[in-house]
Chains A and B, each alone.
Chain A
Amino acid sequence: AQSVTQLDSHVSVSEGTPVLLRCNYSSSYSPSLFWYVQHPNKGLQLLLKYTSAATLVKGINGFEAEFKKSETSFHLTKPSAHMSDAAEYFCVVSENAGGTSYGKLTFGQGTILTVHP
């Protein structure tokens, strides 16, 4: 069984300072990991994904995440926050569902990022 824990429900930063959103996962197999972002009243947009290639993954809008198997973590970072980064972020783990070609996603509870001027 797979699970995801986002360690902070809310994170608040000042514009121009670094962002760190923490995620730990549990998976029986070699998982894929994703970060999605949801702006108010919008659907989910993929930020980045890890699928067993390079452990440091770069995404859109300056975000990146590092897969650390020994720590079962996949934290999301950005060197300098922008006002437009204010949104809810979801860490997601995916495993193959049985013998199918379908990837079952398990979502974390979400982290709301607030950016102050």
Chain B
Amino acid sequence: DVKVTQSSRYLVKRTGEKVFLECVQDMDHENMFWYRQDPGLGLRLIYFSYDVKMKEKGDIPEGYSVSREKKERFSLILESASTNQTSMYLCASSLSGQGRKNIQYFGAGTRLSVL
């Protein structure tokens, strides 16, 4: 089974703090993704990476950055956390090569509260 592990289930941070969310996958997937999930809005893509050190902006990248130094690990960084970044964050991974047919596998999520 594919396993996507997010390091924290719950995080509470203060406004202005730098926040790191970590994600690790164990299936040698080329693609990794970060989404945020808000009630009534579904999931929205923040950033994705298709290879080590490569990244692309998603639909809502403002206020976020990412890092992918190793194939299995993809980090989401909130440079200066704000209250409007309180949300559920989901990491996913997928194989490359079949484009739209690829299944994305999701982690359990990190619920971040910024106070």
Contact = CB atoms under 8 A, between A and B. Distances in A.
Size band of the B side of the interface? 20 to 34
Interface stretch (B11-19, B60-68, B75-83, B105-113): B105-113
Contacts of A4: 42
Contact of A49 (B97, B103, B106): B103
B48 interface: yes
Contact of B45 (A46, A95, A104, A109): A104
B106 A44 contact: yes
A57 B109 CA distance: 28
Given A43-B90, A102-B48, A103-B94, A31 B100 contact: yes
Secondary structure dominating the interface of A = strand
Size band of the A side of the interface? 20 to 34
A110 B42 contact: yes
Interface of B: 4, 9, 31, 40-45, 48, 50, 90, 92, 94, 96-109
Interface of A: 4, 9, 31-32, 34, 36, 41-46, 49, 51, 90, 94-97, 100-105, 107-110
